[in-house]
Structure 1
Amino acid sequence: MSVVIWADGRLHAPTDRILTGVDHGVTVGDGVFETCAVYAGRAFALTRHLRRLARSAEGLGLPAPDDGQVRDAVAAVLGAAGDVGRLRITYTGGPGPLGSHRDAPDAQRPSLVVLAGPATRAPSSRVVRVPWVRNERSAVAGLKTTSYAENVVALAHAYRQGADEAVLANTVGELCEGTGSNVVVERGGELVTPALSSGCLAGITRELLLEWAPAAGIPVRESREGELPYEVLDEVLAGSAHLALTGSIRNVSPVLSLDGRDVQAGALCRAAAELFQARALDDLDP
């Protein structure tokens, strides 16, 4: 299955040259992005993703994306793509200086690239702990930026260990997130996910799980300060707690392997996975 790309007002093939070499998203990672699952030719939770794209752009100091232009580009890509599972929207600072500073606001010409392609969804996940941390006090904490180098390194480490995701602590030793996912701990008869103050991304799947689960009788909440130290993963290994990941392609994915050791999926994690898949298919733009 090929990838379909939209840029500069028209569709492109994957081999087309689209961005200039001085695009600030290329030279210094000055950009933001969103990834949506695609069901039956429609992007899931597109309105929420575009809202977060705008928040990330504002946090990075980029001009606000044109919501109508983005939606038109999404429609063009999905109309031409056929059977795909993933949509990506990338919005960068556009052509700019070779250093980290930007052109004056009235001289900026942001770049928008939208593409659709295949996606593989696995019903479960395999994770490892890594020696690197998230900086919850970073200037870009909680923003979905294209500066993904630390995620590339951490995920490559996970793949070398036979896993498909790495889970990180923050600088004060709290459980934070994965390289491209949020984490949920099943413990004491409830699901608990790190608070945004941990430095984790405000994930759309995480957000919807917090909204949908209570009405279905699944207790879920954000953690209190100090409640989820990184060492809570030892409890997962011991079987007294369980772990799941949430993300736009994973949805809710129970973890069945931690640090190379098999672990059990918790009953609430499994219930949350089933609930999310059913609700997602019931309303594609919740």
Structure 2
Amino acid sequence: MSGAEADGVVVWVDGRLVPAGAPALDAVDHGLTVGDGVFETCGFEAGQPFALTRHLARLRRSARGLGLGDPDEDLVRRGVAEVLAATPDPGRLRITVTAGPGPLGSARTSSRQTVVVAAGPAGPPHPARVVRVPWTRNERSAVAGLKTTSYAENVVALARATAAGADEALLANTVGELCEGTGSNVFVERGGELLTPPLSSGCLAGITRELVLEWSAAEGLPVREAAPGELAWSVLDDVVRGGATLALSGSVRTFVPVVALDGEPVEVGPLTARVAALYAVRAAADVDP
């Protein structure tokens, strides 16, 4: 793993900033060999990460769900501070915690976690272009709802989207419900409401999703988590026909409308536009809501 300031990325590993090109990660780290790790990503500006407290709480939940010990939050916060002190421009912050060095197989033997904090550039939020892909999320998976480093499925799905001229792929779950994107939660505006799939669908409990629900409720806007089965995969056909609209949420993406589905232009819903404006105002007012 290369280190600090390579291609604008600053990297900190286990207590130190890593010079560009210096060895930084054990070759048999379980996060590398079998994807045995968890991570969080958030945006930052002027040296301040957005919603860091919520992200660290989810990092802990993911680690517990994977059977790892709780990450050392003081160590992680120290890494975040040192990385952002060396990163003047706004961008993307990633915190990764793995099971540490281990065997080449799936068995876990080490109790020494590896902690990596990295920061690099990220473009500003923009309306999304999405495509449907044929693969599914397994809502009954052992890691459903956990933010793990086992991201190969997302890499393949996002590559399909990119090849089609889009910037996100949407996935169903195994029972034909709309689930999520590769790195985003999805919202559907229809009938005067804005709905997002329930966590029982297998989607990630996104931090931005959480804030959209909380802030919208505080404003009295009709934004809610759908009931199980309420958002079938076929709702995307309604979007193409103009009977519904879409939005995406994510920690760097923020909350943005979808303007194209499978290469076809789609409208931006009025409630989606109101929620996007609300999110921008509330996020600007509190860096750690």
TM-score (norm 1): 0.97
Shift of 1:39: 2.1
Q: What is the deviation of 1:240? A: 1.0
Q: Choose from 211, 216, 224 the match for 1:213.
A: 216
The question of 1:32 aligning with 2:35 is answered: no
Q: Structure 2 counterpart of 1:97, which letter?
A: P
Are the equivalent residues in 2 in contact too, given 1:6–1:12 (CA < 8 A)?
yes
The amino acid across from 2:104 in the alignment is L
AA partner of residue 76 (structure 2): V
Gaps of 5+ in 1: none
**For residues 8 and 230 of structure 2, what CA distance do their matches in structure 1 show?**
45
Q: How does 1:160-175 map to 2 (within 5 A)?
A: 160-175=163-178
Indicate the residue corresponding to 1:236 in structure 2: 239
Cα distance in structure 1, aligned partners of 2:250 and 2:19: 27
**Displacement after TM superposition at 1:268 (Å):** 0.9
Aligned residue runs from structure 1 range 187-198, under 5 A: 187-198=190-201
Correspondence 1:80-159 to 2 at 5 A: 80-103=86-109, 107-159=110-162
Query: In 2, are the aligned partners of 1:96 and 1:108 still within 8 Å (CA)?
Result: no
Among 203, 206, 216, the alignment partner of 2:206 is 203
How many residue pairs get matched?
283
How far did 1:76 drift?
Answer: 0.6
Q: Tell me the CA shift for residue 108 of structure 1.
A: 1.6
SS at match of 1:78: helix
2:51 alignment partner in structure 1: 45
User: 2:85 maps to what in 1?
Assistant: 79
Deviating more after overlay: 13-22 vs 245-254 = 13-22
Displacement of 1:10:
1.0
1:14 to partner: Cα distance: 4.3
Give me the whole-angstrom Cα distance separating, in 1, the residues matched to 2:201 and 2:267. 26
Distance 1:47 1:156 in 2: 31
Provide Cα deviations, 1:121-145, integer angstroms capped at 9, x if missing partner.
2320000000000000000000000
Q: CA RMSD in A?
A: 1.0
Query: What is the aligned partner in structure 2 of residue 186 from structure 1?
Result: 189
Matches of 2:154 and 2:36, distance apart in 1: 16
| Distance (whole Å) between structure 1 residues aligned to residue 287 and residue 125 of structure 2 | 20
The normalised TM-score by structure 2 is 0.96
88-97 vs 4-13, which moves further: 4-13
Answer yes or no: is the 8 Å Cα contact 2:184–2:249 preserved in 1. Answer: yes
